[in-house]
Amino acid sequence: MMVFFRTLSRKTATIECTSTDTVGYIKARIEAKEGIPPEDQRLTYAGKQLRGDLPLSFYNIRNESTLHLSARVLGGFTIPPRTFADVSDGSILTAVEFSPDAPEWRWCSQGLNIEGRCLNRNCRAFRRMIIDRKKFEVFNLIRDDNVRCPICKTNVKLITCGLYDCCWRFEGVKANTRMCTSSPWEEARGYVYHRFDADENNGSVEWTSLVITTKPPTEAVAAWLMLSTESVGVSEGDTCSICWSPFGSPVKRLTTTLCGHSFHRACSQKWSASCKHNNTEPSCPICRRTF
């Protein structure tokens, strides 16, 4: 299903979810779009403040319900961007065969696996790429500092990620474009490890926000069905899904793709240029259908 959230600035944006998703999951998605940490968000629906550990169904939140967001703004501190694999670039996603001889610091699990380099000189995995098995946790690149070497349990330098036997999606903002980008639910199927082939020098970008969500394949079916819904007409109060600003007037200065999603014409041109830079076909940043 799809829910809306409205900020105090009267901006409205959408989030794809299921009724079993928690309020905390919605807050993580809002952080990816707005940059507001979950602990600084106050979400209300039907006059009630929502608790992060409860599912949307507890509050009878249904398709096209509108949540209201208010935030406690803290000044004087900005979290710097982090360098990580460019998960928006499908050309660097590779299938890696499993090896019976893999060392224990390279064992993966079903779901999301975060990879980093161990910098502990006293560890057997020193300078090696290790895997921290996150399984089906919602991973927030900017906020999550709990990525550790499975051998020595010390924090590692985050570099890339891999996926196994799951469905996944991402949502984030790159530091160089300042535009929100996201993916539909993708499949990581088969007896292979799906890895973004990136390191400190290649295949990485700076992110000011990045949230990666994984689910067992059966739980993502409802989210896939949302991709087939038809879009409605656009008014000047509607929001561009690239820059998250209202279309304004006149609304004719926009682009509507074949999939029915609409964006500012300038935003669409910048997005197409970004796709070209990554050697990928220009596609809708919401559903990934090619233009």
Could you tell me if residue 153 is inside a domain? yes
Could you tell me if residue 128 is inside a domain? yes
- Same domain flag for 214 and 92: yes
228 falls in which pLDDT band (50, 70, 90)?
A: very low
Q: Which amino acid is it at 17?
A: C
Strand segments (E) across the chain: 2-6, 12-16, 41-45, 48-49, 66-71, 82-85, 93-96, 111-117, 129-135, 139-140, 157-164, 166-174, 180-182, 186-188, 193-196, 204-215, 254-256, 262-264
Domain boundary among 223, 241, 262: 223
- Same domain flag for 65 and 101: no
- Same domain flag for 122 and 195: yes
User: What's 54's domain CATH number?
Assistant: 3.10.20.90
Count of the separate structural domains present in the chain:
3
- Same domain flag for 99 and 205: yes
- Same domain flag for 97 and 170: yes
Taking residues 65-80, what's their average pLDDT? 66
Q: What is the pLDDT of residues 7-34, one digit of tens each?
A: 656 677 888 888 889 999 999 888 888 7
- Same domain flag for 91 and 198: yes
Residue 218 to residues 12, 101, 194: CA-CA distances in angstroms? 30, 31, 19
β-bridge mates for residue 82, sequence order: 207
The pair of three-digit structure tokens given for residue 259, joined into one six-digit string: 């999939």
Could you tell me if residue 282 is inside a domain? no
Could you tell me if residue 198 is inside a domain? yes
- Same domain flag for 6 and 31: yes
User: What's 239's domain CATH number?
Assistant: 3.30.40
The more confidently predicted of residues 118 and 173 is 118
Could you tell me if residue 255 is inside a domain? yes
Query: Domain range spanning residue 60?
Result: 2-71
pLDDT at 141: 92
pLDDT at 224: 46
Mean of the per-residue pLDDT values of the chain: 81
pLDDT at 47: 67
Domain boundary among 204, 223, 242: 223
Q: How many CA atoms lie within 13 A of 188 on its CB side?
A: 29
- Same domain flag for 117 and 193: yes
- Same domain flag for 246 and 139: no
Could you tell me if residue 284 is inside a domain? no
Which residue in this structure is represented by tokens 């995995």? 125
Q: What is the pLDDT of residues 243-273, one digit of tens each?
A: 766 766 555 466 666 566 677 777 777 777 7
37 falls in which pLDDT band (50, 70, 90)?
A: confident
Could you tell me if residue 283 is inside a domain? no
CA geometry: angle at 170 spanning 157 and 261, to 5°? 150
* Burial of 249 (C-beta count, 10 Å sphere; 0-12/13-18/19+): exposed
124 falls in which pLDDT band (50, 70, 90)?
A: very high
- Same domain flag for 53 and 105: no
Could you tell me if residue 238 is inside a domain? yes
- Same domain flag for 266 and 210: no
56 falls in which pLDDT band (50, 70, 90)?
A: very high
- Same domain flag for 100 and 191: yes
Q: Residue 113 above 50 pLDDT?
A: yes
Domain boundary among 51, 71, 91: 71
pLDDT at 205: 94
Q: What is the pLDDT of residues 180-220, one digit of tens each?
A: 788 888 999 999 999 999 998 899 999 988 999 998 887 65
